[in-house]
Amino acid sequence: QVQLVESGGGLVQPGGSLRLSCAVSGFTFSGFAMRWYRQVPGLERELVASISSTGGTTNYADFVKGRFTISRDNAKNTMYLQMNSPKPEDTAVYYCNARYGNGYWGQGTQVTVSS
């Protein structure tokens, strides 16, 4: 079965750092592009970053450029989001998305940025 499992979320102070992970199974991870999304309750889910199947191409939303880095390790079937200098407005549930089939989602991991 296709499974995407996010981890690494939690409480982080503004200006700190956090690394999220997305462990993938059930399909050939290296063959598909991946994305990170985030969502605040009551608001629309928004795209944070995307990465090509090989990791050679990355794209970022304007609100995270220069602060977050998306990466992947195809040998480990894992995608990462390195969050540097997070801001309170980065508080959200972060979701892993696979561009496989009709699209698959993880369960999400909560990130709270607060002092």
pLDDT of residue 57: 98
Task: For the beta carbon of residue 22, count every other beta carbon within 10 angstroms.
Answer: 26
Count the alpha carbons within 13 Å of 14 in the hemisphere toward its beta carbon: 5
pLDDT of residue 87: 97
- Distance CA(74)–CA(52), nearest Å, equals 11
Binned average pLDDT, 10 residues per bin, the chain of 115 residues: 97 97 97 98 97 98 97 98 97 97 96 97
